[in-house]
Amino acid sequence: MHNPLLEKPSAAHGAYPFDTVKPEHFIPALETAMASARLALESYKVNPTGDFQQVIVEKNDVTEQVDYVAGIFFNLHSAQCTEELEKISPQISEMLTKFGNDIALDPVIFSKIKACYDTRFEQDLSSEELMIIEKTYKSFVRSGALLADSEKQRMRELDEKLAKLTLTFSQNVLKATNEYLLEITDKSELNGLPDSFMEASAELAEKKGKQGSWCISLDAPMIIPVLTYAKNRDLRKKVFLANSSKAFNDKYDNQENLKEILKLRTERAKILGFNTHADYVLEERMAMSPKKVMDFLEELFIKAKPHAEKEIDKLKKLANEVDGLAELQRYDSAYYSEILKKHELDFDDEMLRPYFKLENVVDGIFKVANKLYGINFKEVFNIPKYHEDVRTFEVYDDETNSFVGLFYTDFFPRETKRGGAWMSGIKEQGMYQGKVERPHIMIVCNFTKPTKTKPSLLTLDEVFTLFHEFGHALHGLLSKCKYRDLSGTNVYWDFVELPSQMMENWVLEKDCLDLFAVHFETGEKIPADLVAKIKASGKFLEGLATLRQLSFATLDMAYHMTDPSLITDVTEFESKITDKTSLFPKIKGTNLSTAFSHIFSGGYSAGYYSYKWAEVLDADAFEFFQQSGVFNKEVAKKFRTYILEKGGTQHPMELYKQFRGQEPDVGALLRRAGLH
């Protein structure tokens, strides 16, 4: 059978053959790639040479084809997961886990890695080569290379079970999300909702064969307007409950999966000599220890809580005055926050939407990248795509006129795409078979879709999301490393959010908004007074927003610091941990944990705190820009040179100090948020 996964890509820049790959290609391609790799590994193992080139570089070459096939599969599994792909995903996951463990737990391979590591200072190596040796050695140790044979066997079992469980967790959340559909037949139940929502929900109803009705799904572009604008409190409650009880006490219930994941992660950590999974994870993070994370979260909590309490008192008072509401519930929060924003700042998101046509925002973000880093984005139509919504761009450097990389965008929700937003290194920058190649980077989001009469008009939050993911994309695109394992976003997890959160700062700057924020019908530039209100909104209800993030981060840490045998009731455990950071009554039948994909299937276990950690870095870094002008070329060049280009070639704190000239100041975050 012809298999495009086993052929050299023929498209421009060696782009992935998304247009010709079919689900039935993956397992045969992986089997072939793994068989070739195993043969090559046997030769690798008998070669007595122990120098860097043979031990590190050639080992990476051996697994390149396997990595290539896996990369295509997992990109599709997240963004275009058909039933056929979902069906084979457990087998793919099992094959890859076994293959990875066969390498990581092979004593001969490890002995070569260890010999190279032990003699690294005698080999006249560059700092990047030293870093890749150290990272490779540590990854083997953290995978169990120093364990006894019986413990290695148990590690294999644990890793295979965890791969299946985390995949099942993710699939359950997607299925629960896709299965929900609320039909509304009485238009008056939708009072207060904007025209854009009404049109989108009518189109969804038509698509679902329910003409003359309005339908609501659990996609973010539908949930958020309901919670923010619907006057019908029962509707807000119904949608909130549905969204907050995904994969909880239903046929996709994730409670037992969650508990088993925690149990296996803890056992794995203990085998490796760590007290908890959090200790294991944080050994390779800037924060270094659970105590440092908890102290950091507590410091922010102490600052944020008094502000949050004042803010919720305002909301309660307003809800009582406007609607005679006796008790403010969580599903009321966004609705009355929006009314309060109108009262205090005299604007709301719907006033902004006409100025945020998606195509204009994308064009604007490209202009920002050009002003800061001198790069250009040119849309091209000869790159294979996996869906018609995908757009592709070639990126070039102005100064050298050299090719920087390929950039893909995929912006609208669909049933085959998981929720949220993410950046993916389809092909990471670095060495392939002895040649350093440029990256292929993708950002995937779930934004407001265009309707029959209107283009995609983004909310302010969606604009922030686009800038955030684009920041990750720049980290991948501008990387200038030799080795893939250190390039782009292959950095400590609590450093990886710096470039993304850094980009969000420009959304609040007039000089940036003036580049793209024009009315989609009149072409009128966004008025200066509206820009000032957007700027002011950056601190609006920031105390409550901070407590919400701290709630997620604290729950994550608690799950991964606690003896899992003590977590018998998921709802009870979640309530106990989040009580401290929640100012709303607990609503029966809801559960955050069973759909907390970030930590149970998305790589953020004992790492959710990194969003707030990186906020300290980005607030401090942006103050540096503000001192010289937000488009200052010299500061931008420093940020590009020391943060965006270096990847994980040095410790992140050293890179940050080379950029900033000092360690980050937590006060910068508090000043920006108005919490000092």
Contact 594, 247 (CB under 8 A): yes
Packed helices 528-537 and 330-345: angle between N→C axes, nearest 10 degrees: 140
User: If you write DSSP's letter for every residue of 426-459 in order, what string do you get?
Assistant: EE-SEEETTEEE--EEEEE--PPPP-SSS--B--
User: If you write DSSP's letter for every residue of 177-220 in order, what string do you get?
Assistant: HHH--EEE--GGGGTT--HHHHHHHHHHHHHTT-TTSEEE-SSH
Using CA of residue 130, residue 133, residue 136, residue 141, what is the dihedral sign?
A: negative
User: If you write DSSP's letter for every residue of 257-290 in order, what string do you get?
Assistant: HHHHHHHHHHHHHHHTT-SSHHHHHHTTSSS-SH
CA 461 to chain centre: 15
Closest by CA position to 355, among listed 512, 496, 523: 523
Closest by CA position to 473, among listed 417, 422, 413, 548: 422
Which of helix, strand or coil describes residue 424?
Answer: strand
Contact 540, 345 (CB under 8 A): yes
Cα gap 402→25, rounded to integer Å: 34
Can you give the length of the chain in residues? 676
Residues 6+ apart with CB under 8 A from 437: 14, 427, 429, 430, 431
Cα gap 576→70, rounded to integer Å: 40
Closest by CA position to 550, among listed 521, 520, 579: 579
Judge whether 284 counts as a catalytic residue.
no
Q: Which of the following is catalytic: 428, 469, 497, 615?
A: 469
Q: Dihedral of the CA atoms 595, 596, 597, 598 (nearest 10)?
A: 160
Spell 588-615 as b/e; 16+ CB within 10 A means b.
Answer: eebbbbbbbbbbbbbebbbbbbbbbbbb
The catalytic residues are 469
